[in-house]
Amino acid sequence: MAWRHALLLTPAASDDLRDDFSDTFTDIDPAAPALSVGELSTQRGDGIFESIGVIDAHPQEREAHLERLAYSAKLCDLPSPNVEQWRQAITAAAATCPAGESVIKLILSRGVEHGPAPTAWVTVAEAADNRAAREHGARVATLDRGYDSGAPVRAPWLLLGAKTLSYATNMAAIREARRRGADDAVFVSSDGLLLEGPTSSLVLRHGDRFVTPAPGVGILHGTTQLSLFTWLEGQGYRTGYEQLPIDALHEADAAWLLSSVRLAAGITAVDGEPLPYDQAFTASVNAYLLSPRD
Ligand code: PLP
């Protein structure tokens, strides 16, 4: 993966209504050191982020990512992001992208220990080649997340549902899935409900109905899943959010992991048991996801 560009932002207050925020952006060398050693994002993972897929310099689902950034900030008691400032930063970052696929990351950290706070920056990188997962799918292992489905309400300080920078456990889950002979993981609550992948949303197909776990169980609301549901509804399919027991995955007619950069990876096996995989339908989903989306 090659870095393409990076911008530091001087975060503006959310009620700053100026038209042009370009003087709050500083271009920086993405390969050079840029953060203070006191950064709380690196010391504690204390911050939030978004990863935005970029196709031919078009940032996909920009508004949905901005909404989720603001939602994560609220859950984490971070200052509300100035949405117009971030929107302009995305536009500036996307303008540096060549044809093909890139990824823009937005990062908002609690800042530097003992101030100033917060720190914000945007990176642009070449996207990984995700064709194998898009075309041939992924085998998944179901893994206990260790929390029951009531945990997000009972213990909001766990920040379940916020896209925080603390992804070490998500990465550990992918390594565990690989040790079990799979490519990726699907988290399950300790009371047996399907949740999400470590870096993706889960969508199941039962006949002509597509369902995904309801976000209230402490998962991220995926921008790709939201966009896919709108497209599916336009194609005449029914969609819904449900509490889904683990058997719903084993009994699905098809299932996918969805995320902004890899897009749709059809699930081909669950804990070693094959799952029906519809390559042609998955290809049509990915063709939609690769088209310009706002
Ligand atoms: N759930 C988790 C834990 C994720 O990390 C991601 C993607 O980063 C998603 C779901 C899917 O979200 P999106 O479609 O917005 O990329």
The full set of domain ranges for the chain reads 3-126, 131-289
221 C-alpha to ligand 1 centroid (Å): 7
From 103, 199, 227, 286, mutation site for ligand 1 pocket: most ligand atoms within 8 A of C-beta? 199
pLDDT digits (tens, 9 = 90+) for 107-117: 999 999 887 78
Distance CA 8, CA 96 (A): 15
Question: In this predicted structure, what is the pLDDT of residue 288?
Answer: 98
Q: For ligand 1, is residue 223 a contact (CB within 6 Å)? A: yes
The CB of 259 under 6 Å from ligand 1? The reply is yes
What is the rounded average pLDDT of the residues 235-255?
98
Question: Distance (Å, rounded) from C-alpha 131 to C-alpha 202?
Answer: 19
| CATH classification number, 131-289, choose in 3.40.50.300, 3.40.50.20, 3.40.50.11540, 3.20.10.10 | 3.20.10.10
Is residue 212 in contact with ligand 1, taking CB distance under 6 Å? no
**Ligand 1 mean position, distance from CA 12 (Å):** 26
Per-residue DSSP letter, 99: S
Q: Which atom, in ligand 1's list, is nearest to the CA of 170?
A: 3
The residues near 249 (Cβ < 8 Å, ≥ 6 apart) are 142, 186, 194, 202, 204, 255, 267, 270, 275
Q: How many Å lie between the centroid of ligand 1 and the Cα of residue 224?
A: 8
Q: Mean of the pLDDT values across residues 168-174?
A: 98
pLDDT (0 to 100) of residue 116: 73
- Report whether pLDDT(170) > 80: yes
Mean pLDDT computed over 204-225: 96
Q: Looking at the predicted structure, is the pLDDT value of residue 90 above 90?
A: yes
Q: Which fold has domain 3-126?
A: D-amino Acid Aminotransferase; Chain A, domain 1 (3.30.470)
Contacting residues for 228 by C-beta, under 8 A, at least 6 apart: 203, 210, 258, 264, 285, 288, 289
Ligand 1 near 258 CB (within 6 A): yes
- In the predicted model, what is the mean pLDDT of residues 146-170? 96
pTM confidence score: 0.97
Residue (of 179, 176, 172, 187) closest to 142 by Cα position: 187
